Structure 1
Amino acid sequence: MPTPHYGQPRYRVIADHLRRRIESGVIPPGSLLPAESMLASEFRASRGTIRQAVAALRESGLVTTEHGRGTYTNVGSYEYAPDRSAELQTRQRDVAADAELADLFDIEVGAVLIERQSVTRKGKIVETVIKAYRLPPTSEGN
């Protein structure tokens, strides 16, 4: 992303670009941000600069970082639906991994995952349903 930043710190330019992706739904609520190395490659920046950008997003409440797991967009911390009259409802629950999820997470079928479901409604009409899954936090190192 070789664009001029006109005196603005590089990490701030990157944070603003990621913020636009999150707010527009390109990176959906509850989903994992790309790895630092991928972002560093995409933006042609050092990992330290990427860490500063992610820290800025964390300070603004758009993302949460879990040690050893990655950085997730926060569900409900921004208006995901383009239509401001739409209502966003979220819920989180533990679910058993089916065969597909177990394969994706490299865990056993039936292992516990955390499911975040976001439902956007306009009146009584459901516009979108987004489900995101992640491993539960471990007691190791916490």
Structure 2
Amino acid sequence: MPTPHYGQPRYRAIAEELRERIESGVIPPGALLPAESALTAEFDAARGTVRQAIAALREAGLVATEHGRGTYATPRRHVCGLDEGSETETQQRQVAADAELAALFAVEVGAALVEQQSLTRANGAVGTVVRTYRLLQTER
């Protein structure tokens, strides 16, 4: 972490840094945040402090946590820098892995994946389309 934030709890400083990464697109919608162990090393903080920071982001609606998947950035309804009328639509569906996705995920072609598509519109015109993929989590 570049500079300490005196007078502010450590978890809030960590949450603020992660919020900036999410809002700037360094961590795009649907992307997983680094693992807790990586964040504790990066910020030189205790695991509980990192968990408090993630909880603050979850409370603000910037991230969501799924058991077995991890914590990921959630799509925003309004995108900074665009007109007030801009919004993001998110759709999710199950797809079969093509050869390229199968190689990336180290699974067989045809394996079940979840595709999440976030489409941002400003004044009715499409601004961005972001597609993310993850393995389908099956219940055991």
State the TM bucket, normalised to the shorter chain.
Answer: 0.7 to 0.9
Q: Distance in 1 between matches of 2:2 and 2:82?
A: 32
**Do the aligned partners of 2:79 and 2:86 also contact (CA within 8 Å) in 1?**
no
Alignment root-mean-square deviation, CA: 1.8
**Do the aligned partners of 2:31 and 2:73 also contact (CA within 8 Å) in 1?**
yes
Shift of 1:81: 4.8
User: Percent of counterpart pairs with the same letter?
Assistant: 64
**Do the aligned partners of 1:29 and 1:80 also contact (CA within 8 Å) in 2?**
no
Shift of 1:17: 1.1
SS at match of 2:137: coil
Partner of 1:134: 134
SS at match of 1:90: strand
Task: Report 1:93-108 matches (<5 A).
Answer: 93-108=93-108
Q: Distance in 1 between matches of 2:101 and 2:2?
A: 37
Partner of 1:82: 81
Shift of 1:101: 1.5
**Do the aligned partners of 1:15 and 1:56 also contact (CA within 8 Å) in 2?**
yes
Which runs of no fewer than 5 residues in structure 2 stay unpaired? none
Shift of 1:50: 1.3
TM-score, length-normalised on structure 1?
Answer: 0.85
SS at match of 2:4: coil
Shift of 1:2: 4.9
Matched residue type, 1:80: V
Q: Distance in 1 between matches of 2:30 and 2:36?
A: 18
Q: Distance in 1 between matches of 2:87 and 2:67?
A: 31
Q: Distance in 1 between matches of 2:59 and 2:138?
A: 24
Q: Distance in 1 between matches of 2:25 and 2:2?
A: 24
Which piece of structure 1 moves more, 88-97 or 119-128? 119-128
Which whole-Å deviations, capped at 9, do the CAs of 1:12-35 have from their partners, x for residues lacking one? Answer: 110111112112222111111111
The count of residues paired between Structure 1 and Structure 2 equals 139
Shift of 1:89: 1.7
**Do the aligned partners of 1:23 and 1:79 also contact (CA within 8 Å) in 2?**
no
TM-score, length-normalised on structure 2?
Answer: 0.86
Q: Distance in 2 between matches of 1:8 and 1:34?
A: 23
**Do the aligned partners of 1:33 and 1:72 also contact (CA within 8 Å) in 2?**
yes
Partner of 2:71: 71
Q: Distance in 2 between matches of 1:51 and 1:104?
A: 29
SS at match of 2:16: helix
